[in-house]
Structure 1
Amino acid sequence: MSDYGYANTRVRAMKSTLFTASFIEQLLSAPDLNQFLTLLRKTPYQKDVEKGMVKYPGVLGVEEGLKTNMVNTFRHIMTYSENNKQGERLIQVILSRWDIHNLKTIFRGLHADVPKDEVVEQLVPAGELDEAHLHELAQQGDVKSCIDLLAMWKVPYSEPLNEGYHEYIETRHLANFELVLDRFYYLYALKKSRGRTLNHRLVQTIIKREVDLTNVMTLLRFSRETLDKEEFDPEPYFINGGLEITKEKFLEYFALNEVEDIVNALENTLYYPVLKAGLKHFYVLGTVSALERKIEEYIIQKTVALFKADPLGIAIITAYIWAKFNETVNLRIIARGKDVGMPQDQIKEALVLV
């Protein structure tokens, strides 16, 4: 039996340092970025934020410090599980989502000819690809060189990327290229987290839920595009492995033309309540990004709620990883808002509070 006792004890202590709702309100009430920083310097973020501001000026330095703090925190969690092979493997699966984020960031930078230093600023070395490897990838001159480097390092993502590269060169459709990466990531994560224990099932459920919601977002985006639905084949855009959205249902929902129709077709799924709530924002803003934000909130809230699940397994670690990530994102949003003088209520509206 895998022992999560030591790791959970350490993570519970780390959980106690997460910001309370009242402290978030204090940060929101800060009149400007300087006052925000005065408050932040009284927290465990102080050291990393100050280092970040030596490296970059203003809000960029704050973001660098927040990112460094989060990455270091996740590295510590990995060390707490060194004597628990099951835990180490499952935590790697959870953290590997940042590998996907980083590869997409690098590919987008190459696709749009973004300066290398701007790409590096956006990288989050919290997955299996460490900072040195990511920096080397970011310095490559083209997408193919990145893929070849991944293949040389025997990184599993290189194989599907190699296959998708030929279509990318022909079409220059980066979204399709990224879809190849997403599809492989989910299948790879499901395979690595396969097992019979409650811990395996918990991680599998998180991944399967994300697969479903990724497919839902694909459908919602398609509904806003001008497509000849008799000619267009949506099947290549479906990602297998979800909890509720089968390929047959995906194709059935694709035939629907309106966002509201797709949401109503999902009435008997776990996701209907959050999608129904998201419709109100969609009607106001007129973009599916409003729904996408609600889906992100749902994923965060469901995963952070695992703090109340099995106290002896991986649930607490999983919940903390998401809570820490969400806190970091919230702090970045507040910092950026204060930097440009955004009204407090608008900043708060952009936060996910759990």
Structure 2
Amino acid sequence: MFRRSAKKGNYAYTVARVKAKKSLLLGEEDYNKMLMMTVPEISRYISETGYGKEMADLAGRMAGMDLLEHATHLNMANVFSSILRSSTGELYDMVSAYLEKWDIWNLKVILRGKSYGLNADGIREDLVPAGILGAESLDKLIALETDDDVISNFGKMTRMSFPQEVLAAYKASGNLGEIEDFLEKTHYVRLINNINPASRPSRLFLEYIKEEVDMKNFETILKLKSEGIYGEQVMKYIISGGRRIDDRLLTTLANAEDVNTMMSEVSQLEFSEAIKEALEAKDLTAVVSSLRRFELNKAKKFSHLYPLSVIPVVDFMIHKELEIKNIRAIARGTESGLDRETIKGLLVI
């Protein structure tokens, strides 16, 4: 587990830096302009709005969509790493625990890359070193010969213990999903345990993360239901620690035969109004987008209420991640020939 610091942390300094970075994020007007552009024009536009260094650094090796996708991820990794390095005390503890999801992302990239026979450079291009593990640590993992060694050393680097039954199931099936499921559940357990609810802002942050667990579980249930998976098979993918969706409600939702039978149960959830229209339309993509907008708005609200806390920092990181997703959605949609209204419907603003 992470170790909690006894020191409060440099909230004023870090929040001031984050506020400056947030002022540079793209807005709806920028996205509307990008919707009128070709992919090369989008690349030039983002080069002039904060992504220039990463675009220039990668331009010799990549072009087109590859360049745009890798440069945006690299930019995000650089920004998040900078925030983490500037944080101290309990603020550092909470930010690093929140960013652990990128360490997990990178472990999955390395394991997948090795299974596909990619060389070190091929694997390295898809990494997002935005967590505790920097480029040097990730290179050490890439250089290891076997999956066992990679997983074992990742566990040592992050103080994460992999249960023998999880490792045995992975070896028996070769299915990376066994590892991925454990990692996602463990991330939320560690994050929740690392938030000290001693202050009102930290308690709100804890509630926010627990609400995120609820949304993740609800999204998982919907996705599995769309694939014809119900009941006990669903429950093994559920993350513990949610705020409002308890075991009883999880079981009810998992067993529901269709969306209509879920509606009365869903109505008691905080995000029910945000997803009602999309849920009634049985549009899973729209439900997920609605959940992201709800998450974004809630973080923004808390950020204004408690300006000297971890919340504005996480609020910025959520906005930054969504900016990357929006840029990619526009570029991919444009490249695929989707009409502007369809692409716009995919954006979370």
| Secondary structure of residue in 1 paired with 2:154 | helix
In the alignment of these two chains, the number of paired residues is 341
**Counterpart Cα distance in 2 of 1:222 and 1:338:** 29
Is residue 208–residue 242 contact of structure 1 (8 Å, CA) maintained in 2? yes
The match for 1:184 is 186
The match for 2:339 is 343
Task: Describe the superposition over 1:159-181 as per-residue Cα deviations: whole angstroms up to 9, x where unpaired.
Answer: 23644111122344433432211
| Secondary structure of residue in 2 paired with 1:54 | coil
Residue 192 of structure 1 aligns to which amino acid in structure 2?
A: N
Matches within 5 A, 1:1-354: 2-30=9-37, 32-82=38-88, 85-110=89-114, 113=116, 115-116=118-119, 117-151=121-155, 153-157=156-160, 159-160=161-162, 162-226=164-228, 229=231, 232=232, 234-282=234-282, 288-353=284-349
Is residue 81–residue 131 contact of structure 2 (8 Å, CA) maintained in 1? no
Is residue 266–residue 272 contact of structure 2 (8 Å, CA) maintained in 1? yes
**Counterpart Cα distance in 1 of 2:108 and 2:94:** 23
Task: Describe the superposition over 1:319-354 as per-residue Cα deviations: whole angstroms up to 9, x where unpaired.
Answer: 11111111122122223334444432232222111x
Task: Describe the superposition over 1:94-121 as per-residue Cα deviations: whole angstroms up to 9, x where unpaired.
Answer: 211212222233334455x263455433
Change in CA separation of 1:114 and 1:350 when aligned onto 2, cut-off 3 Å? farther
Residue 4 of structure 1 aligns to which amino acid in structure 2?
A: Y
Residue 21 of structure 2 aligns to which amino acid in structure 1?
A: M
Is residue 147–residue 161 contact of structure 1 (8 Å, CA) maintained in 2? no
Task: Describe the superposition over 1:144-168 as per-residue Cα deviations: whole angstroms up to 9, x where unpaired.
Answer: 23212224x34233x2364411112
Is residue 187–residue 241 contact of structure 1 (8 Å, CA) maintained in 2? yes
Mark the runs of 5 or more structure 1 residues left unpaired by the alignment: none
Is residue 170–residue 179 contact of structure 2 (8 Å, CA) maintained in 1? yes
Task: Describe the superposition over 1:272-318 as per-residue Cα deviations: whole angstroms up to 9, x where unpaired.
Answer: 223322214425xxxx4443343233323332443322122222212
**Structure 1 residue 136: deviation in Å?**
3.5
**Counterpart Cα distance in 2 of 1:5 and 1:114:** 47
**Counterpart Cα distance in 2 of 1:316 and 1:191:** 20
**Structure 1 residue 211: deviation in Å?**
1.4
CA RMSD of aligned residues (A): 2.5
Tell me which moved more, 141-150 or 70-79.
141-150
The match for 2:3 is none
Identity of aligned residues (%): 24
The match for 2:4 is none
Tell me which moved more, 293-302 or 125-134.
293-302
**Counterpart Cα distance in 2 of 1:237 and 1:106:** 23
**Counterpart Cα distance in 2 of 1:254 and 1:20:** 38
State TM-score, norm by structure 2: 0.87
Residue 29 of structure 2 aligns to which amino acid in structure 1?
A: S
| Secondary structure of residue in 2 paired with 1:213 | helix
Is residue 48–residue 69 contact of structure 1 (8 Å, CA) maintained in 2? yes
| Secondary structure of residue in 1 paired with 2:35 | helix
Is residue 279–residue 287 contact of structure 2 (8 Å, CA) maintained in 1? yes
Mark the runs of 5 or more structure 2 residues left unpaired by the alignment: 1-7
Is residue 2–residue 87 contact of structure 1 (8 Å, CA) maintained in 2? yes
State TM-score, norm by structure 1: 0.86
Is residue 102–residue 129 contact of structure 2 (8 Å, CA) maintained in 1? yes
**Counterpart Cα distance in 1 of 2:244 and 2:162:** 25
Change in CA separation of 1:138 and 1:161 when aligned onto 2, cut-off 3 Å? farther
